[in-house]
Structure formats: C-alpha cells, structure tokens
Structure 1
Amino acid sequence: METVDDLITLAGEQDSPEGALGFLERAARLADGQGDRAAGFRARGELVRAASFSGFPDKALIHFAWLLGTFDRHRAQFGPQAYSLMWMYKWILAAAVDNPAFPLARLAKLRADFERRAREFGSGLHYAAYHRLMLATHVGDAAEAQRAFLAWRSLPRDSLSDCPACEQNKVMVYYAERGNPAAAVKLGREIIEQGMSCHNVPTVTHAHLLRPLLSLGRYGEARAAHEEGLRLARLDRNFIETIAGHLHFLVATGEAGAALPVWAEHLDLALGIRNQADLFEFLAASAVLWRALGSGPGVEVRLPRTFALYRGDHTYSPAQLAAHFEREAAALAARFDERNGTTRFADRLRESLSLQA
C-alpha cells in the first residue's frame, strides 16, 4: 500500500516538475484522507514548488492558501516551516501579477500581508521592494518603476532575497526596459561568463540579451545567445515566454522559416499553460511570425489536433493564422489592461505587429 512519503519520493524521481504534479496531488489527497496534517503540509509544500516551476500557478495558489491557513492555525507545529513558507509566498506574489483575473487591490493586500510576515520573520522586505518594481514594470508605470528600482537597490539583501544570478538578471531586464542596452548586455555577459546560475538563469538570460544585442548591432553575439538559449529552453513549459523571445529574434533577423518549426513544436505546450503573461508573449510572437510568413496560399506544418484551427491536410493560410493569433493576443491584452488600468499590453502588441506591417 502506497504512503504519502512513497508518492513524494516518486514525484522526486520524475524528469520534470510537471511530471511530479500528479503524484503530489495524490499524496495530498491521501494525507487528507488519513487526517495526517503534517503529511498534508509536506505534500503541499512540494506541490506548490512543482506547480510554480511547471507553468501551473493556479494550482500553486490553491495549495499555498491551505499551507498558509494551516501554518497560522498551528504555529506550534509548523513554526519551523516559516522560512520555506515565506519563500513560496514570493512565487505566489509573482504569479498573481501575471494573472489578469487577480485584482490589483487583492494583490496589494497580499503584498501587505507578506510585508507584515516579513517584519515578524525578520527577512523578506528586500523582495517586497523588488515586487513593487515588478508590478510597476508590468503595468507600464515607468516613473514608479524607477522609484521602486532605486528603493530595491538601496535595501540590504536578506535571507529571502533572490539568488545573485536571478537578481543580476532582473537588473539586466530593468536596464533593457529603460532603453540602456549596453548596460543590459554588460550584466548579461557577466552572468554567462562567470557561470552564474539557478533554475531559470542563464536560460532566460540568453533570451533577454537578444534585443539589446541586436539594437547594438552585435549580431554574432546575438546569434550565439539565441542558439544556446533555445537549446536550454526547448520543450520546457516553464520557458514559454523565453521561447517567444527566440521567435521574435528569428523573425527580426529574417528567418521566419527557421522560426516555424520552433513555434510548431511549442504550440501545444504554450496553449496549455496557465501563466497568462507567458501565454500573451507566445500569442503575440505567433501573430508576428504568421504575418512574416507572408500572404501566400498556404504553409505546410504539422500542428497538434488540439489546435482550434487544426487541418487534416496540414496546410495553413498565413493570413488566417496571423489574424487568429492577433485576435487571441489582443483579447488577452485587453484583460490585462482592464485589470491594470493602463494600455501597456495593447501598446506592446501594436508595437510588435507594426514591425511586420
């Protein structure tokens, strides 16, 4: 008879966090059925981690809410888990930004709760400051982003700060967003040359280097970043936004034909992710790609049967697919912009499409 620990062990033996989810969900149900609160806490901690790193933030949020409530009701039992719980809280805060159905007022309350717990725990205010930068950038408030960036960088790191690799990558992204490609490239090259790494870095770093390198005319370096970055990100649901960056690169360098097979092999993964910000990036890249493929009679490519416009003859009209993905991206942009009270997503989509007009 399988036990909760057996299932957690099986989850740990899977090749990817996504593959672990089913085992961990079974472990949580089994613990609940046995009335074993400690085992349920253990299983859900692993479940939040796996869901957060496999493109299922909605699953993570549900189980994190259980963990947080259980922790508060049973501090004597779970007090030693405070650090790991606060670390998971960071993932939840980030995921809430990327969910257009999560109201900003609710997000503000969530961050206030995190900050309260950070003061109680004695660590975490450094990340809370970064989260303000993340949200300001997301909604397109450049002035607030600059204030948040300076506030974040003025605070000392603590035990809940992101690792140095992640943090340097985030500074790099900020400089790229602010229109300082030289500074962004300098930081990105340091990450790669010094071997800085974590779960996402340098995979995302290679993609974040592409636009700054192209804008500086450093095409050979951009090509190398594309080839290595695509190798690292390929067929990983957690890196769909990264794949979108590589698709934009190929289209920008006149290689739409080379982008097509990359796009096709990631389509099913992308359309199945729950992270709506990542999905928006892929939809926008899809619209740009199919515009770039021209207005000819048809392009032959094998797509999954789950695709809404699937055709048995595997031949697709570039104009039809470009229009389809533009509509899908615009609809999702509208959801984000309505939630955020800005036009940043619509503006970004319009800017991307204008390059292929």
Structure 2
Amino acid sequence: MDYLNDLESVWGMDDTPEKVKVLERIIAGADLYNNIEDGIEAREMLIDTCLTVGLPKKQLQAFSWLIKKWEDVDSDYYIDTDNLFWQYKWICYYVPTFDEVSKAQIDGLLNDMKEKFEQQNYSLRPYYKVCTLAAMSMGDVEKAKELFEKWSTTKGDYLNDCPACETSVQVHYFCFIQDYETAEKTAKPIIEGKQLCAKVPHFTYGDMALAYLTLGNEKMAQECFDKGYPLVEKQSSLLTPLGQLLKYLVLTNQTEKAREVINTNLEIVLQAKNGLDRLIFLQAAYPLFDREKEADLIEMTKALTAKFDARNGNNYYQDLLNK
C-alpha cells in the first residue's frame, strides 16, 4: 500500500506535473483497495493542482467521480458540498474549450449545474457567469450579451468569485463584444494594481494589450505586454493570455520578438489538452508560419478552426483567422 506513503508526502509538494502523477498513483491505489475516503481526498487535491498546472481534462475525470459519490444518498462518505460546487464552476468553464465535447454535452453539463445549485439554494450568479463564458468560447455574441445581463443582475453569495476574478472576466467579455472603451474603464483597478489574485492581472494583460492597441494607446498596450509576458511565458495554464500577447506582437510588427515567443512556447502549446488554448495561440502565430517549412502547423490551425466552428455552428473562429 505504497500509495499511503505518497499521500503523506504529497501535502508538501508544489503544484507541478510531478504532483499530478503522484496524486494519480494515490487514486489508483485507493481505488484498488476500495479506500473511498483517500480516493476523495486525492481527487479533490488533483482538481486544485490541475487548475494550476493546466490539465482540465484530468480535472473533469476526477470531478465526475466525485459528483457521482456526492449524488449517492446511500454513501457513508462525506464530500464537502461547498468545495464541490466551487469546483463545479471550474469544470463548466473548461468543458466548452475542448473541441471533442459536443454542444449537447456542454448544454447538459450547464443544465445540471443549474439544477444542483437551485436544489442546494445557491445563487445562480456563478452559473450565469460560466454560461456567459461558454457562449464566448463558442463565438455566440448575442447569447453572451443576454447571459452577461443575467450574470450582472443576479445577486451573489459566498460561492461568488473574488472581485479581481469578476472584474477580469468582465474585461474579457467587453473585449469579446468589442466594447473596448468599457473594457478600459472596467480594467482600471486591475491595471492600477488595486485588484489582484492568483491569475489576475495575468489574463487581463492579454485582453488589454489588444484593447489599448485598438483604442490607439500604444504606450499602455506595450506596457501590458512588457508586464504580462513574464507572467505567462511557458505557463500551460495561461495559454489564452499568452496567445493574446503574441497576437499583439504580430499586429504591431514586432516580428523578431513574436518569433521568439513562438519558439519558446510552441512545445507546451502543442502538448496542451485544451483545444481552444492551442487554437488561440496558433491563430495568433498563423501569419508568421513558413508556408513550406511549417505546413503542418498551418494545417493544424485550419483543422482546429474548422472543428470548433462545426461544433459551435458558426464561422466565428474562421472569421478571426481571416482577419
């Protein structure tokens, strides 16, 4: 029962791919010996670790097991509902970013989240937030606007995200609908360092580099890149802002720096399990790909673009590629 030794040691480990491997060994051992309690503990830790490391598919697998145990009314094992439902937000955020997940599956998961939050008398504000993000991931502008209104007007509770995260996603939304003036105003407390958290301002710098550029504030756009890139370089859980910052370099003709960013980060991008993260980076890099030497990357970008648009039922990502 070596997995028990792993369970003792894993608490002192940083969130790294190695920790994920250790937790997976613990889960395998706990399942082999039908040790439900340790299986619960290891999966809860795995979900948290994968959020940092950037392995959302492993998160989903662990969460699916936990939710089934939580739903088992005959189970004698305790699963913290608040913690589980907090993690539900993460899962629903990431699922639409997988190209292999169908729209029906996404809708099914979101509906299940709503039902469970209502049954437990939680606020639906987090539900409307992840639905807004899902609509954005699927390029549905009108639906995103409708859901953003519900998110904004629904009172939150203690399962609401921190102020910095709320602001960051609002900025992302305003950039998505191309309301860059409102994005600039909304981002002000983050840009000024008044709102911070584990992944803010990391995400905001990516959005605002492009927003400031569109608004003609080249100084602030460059400042967002200069401050943002060191935060996201070679970070597998931060590929979306990395792709946005790369796009900024391409749009401002900083070709040498853009190629450096591509070369430095391409390996982790290609290893990413999250198809949308890969697509955002590849589309940003697309204008610089050598049509002969990097034909495989060109075809990969086109194929992934077509796959997401087919799933989403629109031409949103093809239109972005054509710009």
Report the TM range for the smaller structure's normalisation. over 0.9
Alignment-derived partner of residue 159 in structure 2: 160
* RMSD over equivalenced CA pairs, Å: 1.9
Moved more, 56-65 or 270-279: 56-65
Q: How far does the alpha carbon of each residue in 1:273-302 deviate from its partner, in whole angstroms, 9 at most, with x for none? A: 101100101111221233xxxxxxxxxxxx
Deviation at 1:321, TM superposition (A): 4.4
* TM-score calculated relative to the size of structure 1: 0.85
Q: Aligned partners of 1:224 and 1:116: how far apart in 2?
A: 44
SS of the counterpart of 2:53? coil
Q: State the match for 1:311 in structure 2.
A: none
Q: Which runs of 5+ in 1 are unaligned?
A: 291-317, 352-357
> Do structure 1's residue 85 and structure 2's residue 84 form an aligned pair?
yes
CA distance in 2 between counterparts of 1:78 and 1:348 reads: 48
1:1-357 mapped onto 2 (5 Å cutoff): 2-4=2-4, 6-8=5-7, 10-73=9-72, 77-79=76-78, 81-290=80-289, 318-321=290-293, 323-351=295-323
Q: What TM-score, normalized to structure 2?
A: 0.93
Deviation at 1:37, TM superposition (A): 0.6
Question: Deviation of residue 82 (structure 1)?
Answer: 0.7
Q: Is the 8 A contact 2:36 2:77 kept in 1?
A: no
CA distance in 2, matches of 1:218, 1:92: 36
Seq. identity, %: 26
Aligned length: 323
CA contact (8 A) 1:207 1:229 kept: yes
Q: Is the 8 A contact 1:185 1:209 kept in 2?
A: yes
Q: Deviation above 3 Å: which 4+ runs of structure 1?
A: 1-4, 8-17, 74-80, 321-324
Aligned CA distance change for structure 1 residues 148 and 276 (closer, same or farther; 3 Å): same
- Shift of the 321–145 alpha-carbon distance from structure 1 to 2, 3 Å rule, reads farther
Q: Distance in 1 between matches of 2:147 and 2:210?
A: 24
- Taking structure 1 as reference, are residues 76 and 266 closer, same or farther at Cα in structure 2, changes over 3 Å only? same
Distance 2:11 2:259 in 1: 34
Distance across 2 between alignment mates of 1:159 and 1:122: 12
More displaced 10-residue stretch of structure 1: 74-83 or 225-234: 74-83
- Which of the two has higher C-alpha Rg? 1
Q: Which runs of 5+ in 2 are unaligned?
A: none
Distance 1:11 1:161, change over 3 A: same
Tell me if the contact between 1:12 and 1:20 (Cα under 8 Å) persists in the aligned partners.
no
Q: What do the CA deviations read for 1:304-336 (whole angstroms, capped 9, x no partner)?
A: xxxxxxxxxxxxxx2324543332111011111
- The Cα shift of 1:80 comes to 5.1
